[in-house]
Amino acid sequence: MPTDIEIAQAAQLQKIIPLAQQRLGLPEEALSPYGHYKAKLSLSHIDSLQPRPDGHLVLVTAITPTPPGEGKTTTTVGLGDALAHIGERAMICLREPSLGPCFGMKGGAAGGGHAQVVPMEDINLHFTGDFHAVGLAHNLLAAMLDNHIHHGNALGLDVRRISWRRVVDMNDRALRHITVALGGPGNGYPREDGFDIVVASEVMAILCLATSLSDLKRRLGAIVVGYTADKRPVTARQLQADGAMAALLKDALAPNLVQTLEGTPALVHGGPFANIAHGCNSVIATRTALKLADYVVTEAGFGADLGAEKFINIKCRKAGLQPACAVVVATVRALKHHGAPAQGLAALEAGMANLQRHVENIQQHYGLEAIVAINRFDADSAEELALVQAACARWQVRCVLATHWSDGGRGAQALAQAVVQVCQARQARPATIYTDDMPLPDKIEAVARKVYRARAVQFSAKAQQQLAEFKAQGWEHLPVCIAKTQYSFSTDPKLLAAPEGHEILVRELRLNAGAEFVTAICGDIMTMPGLPKAPAAERIDVDAQGRISGLF
């Protein structure tokens, strides 16, 4: 089997402007090309689509992740291609990969095998520059903040209470914790600071939740960068940074059109973290795709306890989206991992509890019909597959085998047919887990008890103090975004399968006044990854003709 990049480079891509005309009926003037195989859709054309009816929105989510990955992006792409195979007008909505991790462990993030979005090198590297724009807008605010303090600090910011860090799209552990403004009075007031990776920026979350350029600017202005000595919040608007930040982001707000290896149109746009942020592609891209296609397949980060929960309770709630069904991706290998230390069929049997829990959550708490998609590997035995299918039959849940990784869309046709049946039946009653007017701690408890099946939620002294402050400041109405390990329903990554009765400790809260959610930090959350001992960057290369190798 060739590598992902070899498959991608061997593909015959269609030029994006004619593809958009043929597949989506988009006129040339609606598109701004970036090379011949990428284009941005103009925001004014998107506005003109408003009167059209919406297509069906299909969420691809997964069981609790295991280190080798389950193939959620691959399944999203394969399902989109398969829907096209069976004659439906389909589109795919994905997040943009972060550039930093490509140089670390992970390689690319544009699908894999015969289910990829292309041009994969571009998508994995600079793409259309959206992440660079997010990083610069973020860092402009940081520079204006320190500049304001340097030039007299009229707003009275307390240098000990600045919450706005800086960002770079690189895995660079040396920047996690730094001191800045050293070297004398000409360089400002020394203070502690640090860099996060660009995807962890609140500006990224804002870009992905904004519904228009005006809404983007309004949200940017609402960002709280720090506090005065008497704990009054100071915003980006008070620093007069919102206009320039929005100017830097105006092109980034327009969604990016590319194609799959089979020519299915895909919008790849935005990419917030799925722990400290909501982990979904942009609202603008999803809404646009729903106007252009009858079936829109999208994904959310990590497992259904994190990404799907936030997709429902943050993105769909705020953007008024109505998903029709959820595909839960699982692999036999991952289910057996959840059943360890048992071996073989016993491990698989035990690990099925994880899948069952996610299916229950999706149906009971998100109000969606779940379809289980087994991302099939050659190593899977007939007994193993029969065991999974029999269990799903007992739970009265559809279960479909899919081989899109090796076969492309053809390998996911049964999945596509199941999705169409569910969407046509229109039985989805999307539900949110909490109401806007519930107090913040009750919202956190609702997610923890219903989705994570926790026995109790504890709040640290710091978190309690923050909750009181947030209430006093009028942020009680915001939804919550829980940052915890993706490897367990609990906050202990070693508790696999379907733990219950555990406790959740909320250590601190982080306000995202512009993105409009409150993040509850439960455990160690890394917002700046490091590179491994032998980073992928050492193997990445480009030849004299510009052909890149070593991305995978």
* Residues 470-489 contacting its own copies, CB under 8 A: none
β-pairing, 195-197 vs 166-168, is parallel
Find the binder of its own copies among 36, 232, 429, 471 (CB under 8 A).
Answer: 36
Whether residue 298 contacts residue 76, with contact meaning beta carbons closer than 8 Å, is answered with yes
Tell me: does residue 32 bind its own copies (CB under 8 A). yes
Active-site choice (95, 357, 453, 484): 95
- Cα Rg, the chain, nearest whole Å: 23
CA distances from 325 to 59, 63, 451 (A): 6, 16, 18
Gap between the Cα atoms of 83 and 550, Å rounded: 31
Report DSSP state, residue 425.
Answer: H
Gap between the Cα atoms of 78 and 84, Å rounded: 10
Active-site choice (115, 142, 252, 274): 274
The encoded tokens of residue 261 equal 């290896």
Find the binder of its own copies among 54, 158, 172, 360 (CB under 8 A).
Answer: 172
Nearer to its own copies by C-beta: 176 or 477? 176
CA distances from 2 to 103, 149, 276, 433, 453 (A): 21, 55, 36, 44, 42
CA dihedral of residues 391, 392, 396, 399 (deg, nearest 10): -160
Nearer to its own copies by C-beta: 503 or 538? 538
Gap between the Cα atoms of 327 and 320, Å rounded: 20
Does residue 527 have an active-site annotation?
A: no
Q: Pick from 511, 506, 487: which is nearest to 274 by CA?
A: 487
3-class SS of residue 58: strand
Nearer to its own copies by C-beta: 132 or 410? 132
The encoded tokens of residue 351 equal 């690990």
Tell whether 73 is in a known binding site.
yes
Tell me: does residue 132 bind its own copies (CB under 8 A). yes
Tell whether 443 is in a known binding site.
no
Question: Phi then psi for 268, rounded to 5 degrees?
Answer: -115, 105
Does residue 103 have an active-site annotation?
A: no
**Using CB under 8 A, which residues numbered 261 to 300 contact its own copies?**
none
Tell whether 72 is in a known binding site.
yes
DSSP string, 219-275: HHHH-EEEEETT--EEETTTTT-HHHHHHHHTTTTSPEEEEETT--EEEE-----SS
Nearer to its own copies by C-beta: 437 or 543? 543
Shortest Å, Cβ 488 to its own copies: 22
Active-site choice (405, 459, 470, 489): 405
Nearer to its own copies by C-beta: 8 or 347? 8
Nearer to its own copies by C-beta: 87 or 546? 546
How many residues interact with its own copies (rule CB under 8 A)?
77
Q: Pick from 94, 118, 100, 101: which is nearest to 5 by CA?
A: 118
Tell me: does residue 542 bind its own copies (CB under 8 A). yes
Cβ atoms within 10 Å of 191's Cβ, excluding its own: 17
Find the binder of its own copies among 98, 171, 466, 491 (CB under 8 A).
Answer: 171
**Using CB under 8 A, which residues numbered 326 to 365 contact its own copies?**
none
Gap between the Cα atoms of 170 and 218, Å rounded: 28
Active-site choice (106, 217, 318, 376): 106
Tell me: does residue 176 bind its own copies (CB under 8 A). yes
Question: Exposure of 533 by Cβ count < 10 A (0-12 exposed, 13-18 middle, 19+ buried)?
Answer: exposed
**Using CB under 8 A, which residues numbered 396 to 415 contact its own copies?**
none
Question: Phi then psi for 60, rounded to 5 degrees?
Answer: -100, 120
Tell me: does residue 449 bind its own copies (CB under 8 A). no
- Which residue has 């992970």 as its token pair? 106
Tell me: does residue 13 bind its own copies (CB under 8 A). no
Tell me: does residue 133 bind its own copies (CB under 8 A). yes
Candidates 161-169, 300-308, 363-371, 440-448; binding stretch for its own copies (CB under 8 A):
161-169
Nearer to its own copies by C-beta: 171 or 485? 171
**Angle between the 72-85 and 413-425 helix axes, to the nearest 10 degrees?**
80
Tell me: does residue 183 bind its own copies (CB under 8 A). yes
**Using CB under 8 A, which residues numbered 60 to 119 contact its own copies?**
99, 103
**Using CB under 8 A, which residues numbered 193 to 232 contact its own copies?**
193, 212-214, 217
Tell me: does residue 248 bind its own copies (CB under 8 A). yes
Find the binder of its own copies among 22, 153, 240, 421 (CB under 8 A).
Answer: 240
Find the binder of its own copies among 92, 93, 170, 509 (CB under 8 A).
Answer: 170
Tell me: does residue 164 bind its own copies (CB under 8 A). no
Does residue 311 have an active-site annotation?
A: no
Tell whether 68 is in a known binding site.
yes
Annotate 485-501 with b (16+ C-beta within 10 A) or e (fewer). bbbbbbbeeebbbbbee
Does residue 106 have an active-site annotation?
A: yes
Shortest Å, Cβ 479 to its own copies: 26
Gap between the Cα atoms of 340 and 350, Å rounded: 8
Does residue 330 have an active-site annotation?
A: no
Tell whether 532 is in a known binding site.
no
Tell whether 65 is in a known binding site.
no
Find the binder of its own copies among 13, 43, 414, 505 (CB under 8 A).
Answer: 43
Nearer to its own copies by C-beta: 209 or 388? 209
Does residue 72 have an active-site annotation?
A: yes
Tell whether 61 is in a known binding site.
no
Does residue 405 have an active-site annotation?
A: yes
Q: Pick from 130, 203, 217, 129: which is nearest to 166 by CA?
A: 203
3-class SS of residue 138: helix
Does residue 217 have an active-site annotation?
A: no
The encoded tokens of residue 347 equal 């491990």
- Which residue has 């997610």 as its token pair? 447
Residues within the annotated binding site? 66-73
Residues within the annotated binding site for ATP? 66-73
Active site residues: 72, 74, 95, 106, 274, 302, 377, 405
